[in-house]
Amino acid sequence: MLIDNWGREITYLRISVTDRCNFRCVYCMPPEGLVWQPHDAIMRYEEIEQVARAAAEQGVRQIRLTGGEPLVRADLPILIRMLADIPGIEDVSLTTNAMLLEKQAEKLAQAGLKRVNVSLDTLNTEKFARITRGGSLVRVLRGIAAAENAGLLPIKINVVAMRGVNDDEFMDLARLTLEHPWHVRFIELMPIGNQQPWGPDFPSPQDAFIPIQEIVEQLKPLGLVSENDAVGYGPAIEYRIPGGIGKLGFISPLSEHQFCQRCNRLRLTADGYLRPCLMSAVEIPILSALRAGQPALPVIKQAVAAKPEGHKLATQAAPDGRRMIQIGG
Ligand code: SAM
Ligand code: SF4
């Protein structure tokens, strides 16, 4: 088993398969994009599998693929099959902007993908194009429908909460759960590499943060009923609207102090670093070790041992260095 210095068991590996993306979301990337890693600096599928297999032998059960946009990487179903076939791996899921999901959903499901999380911050077509700088809401909604048809369930919808951007839509986004069996999850905006102005139509990034408690308050008129029984739940605090068929989740990496206590994950970046914590700059190189013929496990153990107790983002700025898209959100 992989147990860190604070007694947390590591059972979840979040793998970024690319640092590239077909969107340029204002809170994630500058409009001109970033300097992408050269092709041979990116982990090959066999290398990712090697890390996942070593992690699974030590008790990792869940894998989530992310990026960048994972669906821009060629032949993703091949990787999914490789990962789903690893003994001990019970769940392979994907976080995507869903722009390319309509065509790929069926193949992904056939390869062994269990579920998808789709990022969707607004239901307004024009605003969607502005936030994502080029995304199409219609295509994303078609992607979600295709994922439902392919059985990639439950569909989780990730909404990054931003004051002056989408806070007028929280009620409408929450009400999606009345008619759809989706889990709509509101996520606090994290100050990771996105503190430069987003453009003339947007508030200052420093003003855009909304604490999750404020969103819960705003949605209380919907009659929210708590879904969390006791301790032991994941990073989302969950509610249901009476009569609704979906769920609401609230994820507060910044303002909820228990968030880190429940952390069970390691992250693998597309260019081959294990990142013990999203919000600490520590990274342990694993791709260079693999390419030097060394085994993955000692590096995994080193990364687990380097997991900090928690982050200090509520009182301190994010560490310099990589953006969310380069780490794998
Ligand atoms: N491209 C995929 C997508 O957008 O779903 C996967 C990668 S993206 C980095 C993963 C998640 O991180 C998305 O749900 C996105 O909204 C979220 N995200 C990106 N930057 C963020 C930030 N600064 N604060 C909070 N969430 C962020
Ligand atoms: Fe791309 Fe996802 Fe970042 Fe948006 S949040 S730019 S879709 S990686």
Q: What is the pLDDT along the chain (329 residues), one digit of tens a residue?
A: 999 988 999 999 999 999 999 999 999 998 888 888 999 999 999 999 999 999 999 999 999 999 999 999 999 999 999 999 999 999 999 999 999 999 999 999 999 999 999 999 999 999 999 999 999 999 999 999 999 999 999 999 999 999 999 999 999 999 999 999 999 999 999 887 788 899 999 999 999 999 999 999 999 999 999 887 544 445 678 999 999 999 999 988 776 666 788 889 999 999 999 998 877 788 999 999 999 999 999 999 999 999 888 766 555 555 556 767 776 66
Pairing state between β 273-275 and 62-66? unpaired
Pocket of ligand 1 (CB under 6 A): 21, 27-28, 66-67, 69, 95-97, 119, 158, 160, 187, 189-190, 192, 194, 324-325, 329
Alpha carbon distance 83, 43 (integer Å): 14
User: Is residue 288 helix, strand or coil?
Assistant: helix
Structural Rg of the chain based on CA atoms = 19
Alpha carbon distance 303, 298 (integer Å): 9
pLDDT of residue 261: 81
Q: How far is the CA of 33 from the centre of ligand 2 (A)?
A: 11
Q: And the tokens for 268?
A: 């693998």
Q: How far is the CA of 302 from the centre of ligand 2 (A)?
A: 29
Alpha carbon distance 178, 199 (integer Å): 34
Q: Is 143 exposed, middle or buried (0-12, 13-18, 19+ CB in 10 A)?
A: buried
Nearest CA to ligand 1 atom 4: 97
pLDDT of residue 182: 97
pLDDT of residue 207: 94
Pairing state between β 115-119 and 156-161? parallel
The closest-lying atom of ligand 2 relative to the alpha carbon of residue 135 is 7
Instruction: Catalogue all structural domains in the chain, each as residue range(s) with its CATH number.
Output: 12-327 (3.20.20.70)
129-134 long-range contacts, CB within 8 A, separation 24+: 130/26, 130/199, 130/201, 131/25, 131/26, 131/165, 131/166, 132/23, 132/24, 132/25, 132/97, 133/23, 133/24, 133/25, 133/26, 133/31, 134/22, 134/23, 134/24
| Element holding 298 (H helix, E strand) | helix 297-305
Residue 95 pairs in a beta bridge with 117
Residue 118 pairs in a beta bridge with 96, 157
Indicate whether residue 325 lines ligand 2 (CB < 6 A). Answer: yes
Indicate whether residue 27 lines ligand 2 (CB < 6 A). Answer: no
pLDDT of residue 256: 64
| Element holding 51 (H helix, E strand) | helix 45-57
pLDDT of residue 321: 63
Q: And the tokens for 172?
A: 């409408």
Nearest CA to ligand 1 atom 14: 119
Q: What is the DSSP letter of 326?
A: H
Give the residue, out of 26, 28, 117, 183, with the most ligand 1 atoms within 8 A of its beta carbon, to mutate for a pocket test. 28
Q: How far is the CA of 293 from the centre of ligand 1 (A)?
A: 33
Q: How far is the CA of 216 from the centre of ligand 2 (A)?
A: 25
The residue among 162, 115, 118, 164 whose CA lies nearest residue 141 is 118
Structural contact between residues 78 and 29, judged by C-beta atoms closer than 8 angstroms: no
Burial 189-202 (b: 16+ CB within 10 A, else e): bbbbbbeeebeeeb
Indicate whether residue 24 lines ligand 2 (CB < 6 A). Answer: yes
pLDDT of residue 282: 86
Structural contact between residues 140 and 120, judged by C-beta atoms closer than 8 angstroms: yes
pLDDT of residue 312: 60
Alpha carbon distance 76, 163 (integer Å): 35
The closest-lying atom of ligand 2 relative to the alpha carbon of residue 28 is 3
What pTM, to 2 d.p., does this model score? 0.93
Residues 6+ apart with CB under 8 A from 200: none
